[in-house]
Amino acid sequence: MWLYTKRQYKSAIEDKDKEMEEILDTFRDEIIKDLKSLVKSEDYNEKYKLLLRHKGYYEAIKNDLNTQRKSLNDIFKKYDLCFQYQGFWGLLDKIVYKNNQLECWVDYYHSFPPDYGCFSLDEIPTRVLYKALRIFKGIL
């Protein structure tokens, strides 16, 4: 049995995450196309508020920030709808179709309570869009 250091495990996980991100990036256009078709649908318009917001992430993150002594990176990395943008963490809250394009609404954690704002698709990592698409398909 091989003994690995904590650093080696962390490095292996990060390499795997990068590899997965690269694979998903090759399908980014298809993921966005699927998201657009879902978000335009009437079913989505009825149910989208339940979609991401009610996954319970906001409350879970708030609880983790108040109770855990872990670093912010360790807390936010646990949640697959969270991503880093310009050094701060964001949580994808909802996706809406407006003015003939997708808008991504994000809880942006550079302050607490977080700011709430609209991000473009280019600012959202592919893995987060893919996870949102999987959630949408599971509900709709």
69: which 2 tokens?
Answer: 């002594």
Q: How far is CA 14 from the centre of its chain?
A: 17
Lookup result for tokens 């609404």: 105
What pLDDT shows up at residue 83? Answer: 92
What pLDDT shows up at residue 140? Answer: 53
The domain segmentation of the chain, as residue ranges, is 7-139
Which pLDDT tens digit goes with each residue over 117-128?
899 888 999 999
Does the structure show a pLDDT above 80 at 106? yes
